[in-house]
Structure 1
Amino acid sequence: MSKFAEVFGVEPDGVWRAPGRVNLIGEHTDYNDGIVLPIALPNQITISASARTDGVIAVASSGQNDVITFELDSLAPGSVKDWAAYPAGAAWVLREAQYGIGGANLLVESDLPSGAGLSSSAALLCASAVALLGLRDLEVDPAEVARLAQRAENQYVGAPVGLMDQMASMCCSAGHALYFDIRAMTTDQIPFDPAADGLALLVVDVKAPHRHVDGEYAARRQSCEQAAAELGVPALRSIAVEDLDEALTRLSDDVVRRRVRHVVTEIRRVEEAVALMRAGQLRDVGPLFTASHVSLRDDFEITVPELDVAVDTALAAGALGARMTGGGFGGCIIALVDSSTATTVLNAIEKAFAANSFTTPASLDATPSTGASRLS
């Protein structure tokens, strides 16, 4: 008997999945109408599901024995709490958008580490949405599912997130990075296959606790919005790198100037990275990773000692480039390395963490993978 049958008394009608993601470059440009370049990870949320006829949605996690139930018609923001708020939010937003979903049994499994900044929440929302739609054979454009998932996280869960995570989870393709232009709301698939060039992209979870994250994120967003208002532009995306120095002289606060410098130069780094990837010069993307980390450390000030030690150690051990990825204040780094040196780099980071009395880090396979799909 399957785990699903043990929990719900029936076998599933199908299995759906949605991956986590890492952002290669473009960190913290998303609320400035910027551009980002994520890849989907092999690590994912998997949901086995069966349809119900009573209008009830029952959710369970493979790691827990409790089954949480709620009625589809009575869902409202805040009505379901904790982790179950994510599948509930997916059901609520699909109902609000008048998609003909119905009751369902959902069993959630995951190999995405929580708290690592790899978008497990977006993956859970997207996996829940595609499962609920798939049970009723409803075909919806992946980008639309991403937008609905963002709405669910904003309005149902109450997290003021952008759209990058959901777009990556829904729209990435294997062997590519997703170029997502937030202002234009357009995407493009950029060739990114490190293994084909004898390279590897390491993702290292530094296991650092997130510290004062909400207040820090809000402060940085406020600084960017303040700067845009002072400069008379709708968002910092409107400032070209060539005009950056002049723009900075018009700002009176040094902290705000540094925030602006990060955003404007980070957008340029994304453009340069895309050009190099299109030209097949993947090795040359490494220094852009490192420059991004320096900017995030010194100008945006969202790194912590664990992230900095991991990046510095990776570079000293031979990485072509390394940077923190995600929201910051903990989470992960990525490092572009020669495949033959991957183990050496990881071992060096582990030794450096032990020497600094940090928690032992963990590494993930970062093969660029495909977005949400049905497995069976």
Structure 2
Amino acid sequence: MTLSTSAEGAPTDRRAGSVGTGRAHAKAVLIGEHAVVYGAPALAVPVPQLTVTATARVTDGPDGVSFTMTGSPSRPMVTQATDGLRRLIAEFMATTGADDSPHLEVTVDGAVPHGRGLGSSAACARAVVHALADLYDHEVTENETFDLVQTAENMAHGRSSGVDARTVGASGPLLFHKGEARELTIGCYGLLVIADSGVVGRTKDAVELLREGFARHAGAQERFVNRAARLTEEARHALAHGRPEELGARLTDYHDLLRAAGLSTNGIDALVEAALTAGGLGAKITGGGLGGCVLALTRTERAGDVIQELYAAGAVQTWVVPLRGPDEYAR
């Protein structure tokens, strides 16, 4: 890969044919969604089985950027995603001093289903940031990557908590609180089964629904946030101290909180009930709500029963994520 630099050493040019590659993975919110944007804590886990790879290539052609996104997302999702990625690329060029005059072909190849609360847009954005960094031989820090991903996320979702932007590059479970993220202590092990309802979630609608509910009922926001914070803190302690039954119970309690706020659906509730009936320790909606996925905590020996019941209740696909610490995710 040939690189020209300015007098200050910033990358300024790329020869046609130069290619950069970047990768990221999915995420799932264990507990704390929605409340996290109001200052409550949230716990999230990486889903390394679902990956995104982006390539950025300099080609001969008119100045600008062209995108190819694999899979079959709906046209509005593609438009929304590429608008955010164009803004991200412009920010990358501006902050790094890279030459934005060549024609860039950006290809995003991802296994993360869109609109399911699994961080598809953030994973795509992170992969593109690292593809550009590779293309221009530019080292990006984790904080720089986060800021660039947030540029795209805020276009896609409005005000973004940052949970997705951090977790799609994390090596293990994370605690988020008031904009800060740190690794979680893991003392209880089990399996997280993620079940896709087949229905695209509607994060923006869910956020607005929750906000409208808060506006209609005095004290509703404070009650919701306080309850969410207590459940998340109890879940964190159970996770750290090896109490899987308590962790599962807090997950189910959190689902009840979101359902009471109108953020679940009949289909999601049926999946939660199926997981519990099959012996799951706890289950809840994960992500923005009004569709998307259910996350269930189960012991290893009951995972097969839980998965079978989830399919019987309408799940269209499932993924199994071992609950473990960052060192073990890296193996």
Is the structural similarity TM-score above 0.5?
A: yes
In structure 1, what is the equivalent of residue 30 of structure 2? 24
Q: Given that residues 29 and 44 in structure 2 are in contact (C-alpha distance below 8 angstroms), is that contact kept between their aligned partners in structure 1?
A: yes
In structure 1, what is the equivalent of residue 316 of structure 2? 361
In structure 2, what is the equivalent of residue 342 of structure 1? 303
Instruction: Give the unaligned 5+ runs of structure 2.
Output: 1-15, 73-77, 327-331
Counterpart CA distance in 1 for 2:270 and 2:51 is 28
Deviation at 1:263, TM superposition (A): 1.9
| Residue 189, structure 1, aligned to residue 179, structure 2 | no
Q: Given that residues 40 and 368 in structure 1 are in contact (C-alpha distance below 8 angstroms), is that contact kept between their aligned partners in structure 2?
A: no
SS in 2 for 1:37: strand
In structure 2, what is the equivalent of residue 232 of structure 1? none
SS in 2 for 1:49: strand
Post-superposition CA distance 1:244-278 (Å, at most 9, x none): xxxxxxxxx6x454443232111122222222222
Residues 334 and 256 of structure 1: CA distance in aligned 2, closer, same or farther (over 3 Å): farther
Counterpart CA distance in 2 for 1:369 and 1:105 is 38
Counterpart CA distance in 1 for 2:128 and 2:222 is 37
| Residue 60, structure 1, aligned to residue 64, structure 2 | no
Matches within 5 A, 1:1-376: 13-42=19-48, 43-51=50-58, 56-63=64-71, 81-100=79-98, 102=100, 103=102, 104-155=104-155, 157=156, 159-170=158-169, 172-173=170-171, 176-181=172-177, 183=178, 185-192=179-186, 197=189, 199-210=190-201, 214-224=204-214, 226=215, 255-298=217-260, 300-353=261-314, 360-367=315-322
TM-score of the pair, normalised by structure 1: 0.72
How many aligned residue pairs are there? 302
Post-superposition CA distance 1:110-147 (Å, at most 9, x none): 11111212111111111111211221222222133222
Deviation at 1:296, TM superposition (A): 1.0
Counterpart CA distance in 2 for 1:349 and 1:256 is 38
Instruction: Give the unaligned 5+ runs of structure 1.
Output: 1-9, 65-79, 227-252, 354-359, 372-376
Counterpart CA distance in 1 for 2:277 and 2:124 is 37
Question: Which AA in structure 1 matches 2:116?
Answer: A
Identity among equivalent positions (%) equals 25
In structure 1, what is the equivalent of residue 5 of structure 2? none
Q: Given that residues 67 and 106 in structure 2 are in contact (C-alpha distance below 8 angstroms), is that contact kept between their aligned partners in structure 1?
A: yes
Residues 57 and 292 of structure 1: CA distance in aligned 2, closer, same or farther (over 3 Å): same
Counterpart CA distance in 2 for 1:125 and 1:277 is 30
Deviation at 1:162, TM superposition (A): 2.7
Deviation at 1:33, TM superposition (A): 1.8
Residues 120 and 101 of structure 1: CA distance in aligned 2, closer, same or farther (over 3 Å): farther
Deviation at 1:21, TM superposition (A): 0.9
Post-superposition CA distance 1:44-91 (Å, at most 9, x none): 211133345875433323459xxxxxxxxxxxxxxx944422431220
Q: Given that residues 86 and 124 in structure 1 are in contact (C-alpha distance below 8 angstroms), is that contact kept between their aligned partners in structure 2?
A: no
* Bigger strand fraction: 2
Counterpart CA distance in 2 for 1:347 and 1:96 is 50
Counterpart CA distance in 2 for 1:63 and 1:215 is 24
Counterpart CA distance in 1 for 2:313 and 2:46 is 28
Q: Given that residues 178 and 188 in structure 1 are in contact (C-alpha distance below 8 angstroms), is that contact kept between their aligned partners in structure 2?
A: yes
Residues 257 and 349 of structure 1: CA distance in aligned 2, closer, same or farther (over 3 Å): farther
Q: Given that residues 185 and 325 in structure 2 are in contact (C-alpha distance below 8 angstroms), is that contact kept between their aligned partners in structure 1?
A: no
Deviation at 1:192, TM superposition (A): 4.1
Counterpart CA distance in 2 for 1:368 and 1:315 is 18
Post-superposition CA distance 1:328-370 (Å, at most 9, x none): 10011110001121121121122233xxxxxx42102324699
Counterpart CA distance in 2 for 1:187 and 1:288 is 21
Question: Which AA in structure 1 matches 2:134?
Answer: G
